[in-house]
């Protein structure tokens, strides 16, 4: 097994691209040719709270990453909310509008069990329990083809999550098991956001510090034809990591005086459904809501949207939004100048 160690997500991305250049082989896949590491891979992040990817070539969409996580924590199954932030997500959506492999649905209700709540309960009662497990792969549905359609457009890539309290430090570690993971869009992208957010929420609700985040994947790969892969594969990728310069760095998803997981999940559902309430948990009110407002302002004017990012209370997400919007503003100006 090959191990990729990093302190945070920006460093994971740079380190992972280097490891691909050393070990990867070319292989076919149902979605086109890939570079794949021939052995299972363990990804290790020591500080999963530093989860925002700033690399300008990768150009990760911070708005989509945050909104997808909120959708998951609401138990979302229909993709309408997500498509506002990423129209390309439509390729994973069934004709009914459902996302077959939606993680949030599987965490909250798919198996007839609210798994996040149960895991929190287990760890509160026994922090050293080895039975705090969240399941995502459903053998009764995911191992066979559906009736009436050619096949599902999406099956869970991450299959199981296990929690463990470290004996000496008391920190809560989280390990994700994965059958197949694209490194650019998944492992160091969207997955790194919503999985580490889940990690933080469970740790907060059980009164434990956040420990190490791990992913064990059976197949880590890059799609050769992605523009970002063509630009960065085989080159030295230097981590774009402003975290050490950001003051007041982390805005917690939940604080001790807030209502806990149930309230947070309920507020996420209200947010996704556009329900206006005044008692949202702080992160949703001070980070997610301003991000949504900025996203919608960009349709009118990029400069106005950028000026409005000061309302985003989380410094890392605020910086990522400014950078992402500025790149598009510059491209729009350049395109206008070229057409003049």
pTM (whole model) above 0.85: yes
If pLDDT is split at 50, 70 and 90, which confidence band does 132 have? very high
Decide: helix, strand or coil at residue 193.
helix
Give the CATH number of the domain where residue 129 resides. Answer: 3.30.572.10
Residue with the two structure tokens 């299972």: 40
Task: Please pick, among 157, 205, 268, 321, the residue that the annotation labels catalytic.
Answer: 157
- Domain assignment present for residue 206? The answer is yes
268 is catalytic: no
- Domain assignment present for residue 119? The answer is yes
Give the C-alpha separation, 340 to 72, whole Å: 44
Average pLDDT of span 185-203: 98
- Domain assignment present for residue 300? The answer is no
- How many domains does the structure of the chain reveal? 1
Give the C-alpha separation, 292 to 132, whole Å: 33
- Domain assignment present for residue 147? The answer is yes
Strands 181-182 and 210-217: unpaired
- Domain assignment present for residue 13? The answer is yes
Q: How confident is the prediction for the chain on average, in pLDDT?
A: 94
Beta pairing partners, 3: 42
- Domain assignment present for residue 195? The answer is yes
pLDDT digits (tens, 9 = 90+) for 134-144: 999 999 999 99
pLDDT at 26: 96
- Domain assignment present for residue 98? The answer is yes
pLDDT digits (tens, 9 = 90+) for 72-102: 999 999 999 999 999 999 999 999 999 999 9
Domain that holds residue 176: 2-227
Beta pairing partners, 214: 44, 175
Give the C-alpha separation, 104 to 68, whole Å: 10
Give the C-alpha separation, 45 to 237, whole Å: 18
pLDDT at 247: 60
If pLDDT is split at 50, 70 and 90, which confidence band does 340 have? very low
Asked whether the predicted pLDDT for residue 338 surpasses 80, the reply is no
pLDDT digits (tens, 9 = 90+) for 254-296: 987 888 999 999 999 999 999 877 667 899 999 999 999 999 9
Average pLDDT of span 9-19: 97
């Amino acid at each position: 097994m090959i191990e990729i160690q990093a302190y945070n997500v920006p460093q994971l991305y740079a380190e992972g691209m280097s490891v691909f250049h050393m070990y990867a082989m070319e292989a076919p896949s149902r979605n086109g040719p890939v570079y794949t590491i021939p052995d299972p891979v363990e990804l290790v992040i020591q500080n999963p709270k530093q989860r925002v990817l700033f690399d300008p070539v990768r150009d990760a969409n911070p708005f989509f990453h945050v909104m997808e996580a909120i959708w998951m924590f609401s138990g979302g199954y229909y993709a309408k909310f997500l498509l506002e932030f990423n129209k390309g997500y439509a390729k994973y959506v069934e004709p009914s509008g459902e996302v077959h492999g939606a993680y949030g649905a599987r965490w909250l209700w798919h198996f007839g069990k609210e798994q996040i709540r149960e895991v929190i309960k287990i760890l509160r009662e026994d922090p050293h329990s080895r039975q705090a497990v969240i399941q995502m792969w459903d053998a009764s549905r995911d191992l066979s083809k559906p009736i009436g359609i050619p096949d599902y457009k999406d099956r869970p890539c991450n299959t199981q999550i296990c929690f463990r309290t470290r004996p000496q430090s008391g920190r809560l570690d989280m390990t994700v098991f994965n059958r197949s993971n694209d490194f650019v869009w998944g492992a160091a992208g969207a997955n790194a956001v919503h999985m580490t957010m889940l990690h933080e929420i469970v740790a907060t609700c059980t009164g434990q510090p956040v420990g190490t985040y791990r992913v064990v994947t059976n197949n880590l790969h890059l799609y050769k034809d992605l523009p970002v892969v063509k630009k960065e594969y085989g080159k030295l990728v230097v981590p774009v990591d402003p975290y050490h310069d950001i003051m007041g760095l982390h805005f917690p998803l939940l604080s001790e005086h807030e209502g806990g997981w149930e309230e947070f999940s309920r507020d996420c559902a209200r947010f996704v459904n556009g329900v206006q309430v005044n008692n949202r948990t702080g992160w949703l009110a001070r980070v997610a809501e301003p991000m949504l407002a900025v996203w919608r302002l960009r349709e009118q004017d990029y400069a106005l949207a950028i000026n409005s990012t000061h309302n985003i209370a989380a410094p890392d997400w605020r910086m990522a939004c400014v950078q992402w919007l500025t790149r598009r503003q510059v491209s729009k100006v350049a395109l206008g100048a070229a057409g003049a």
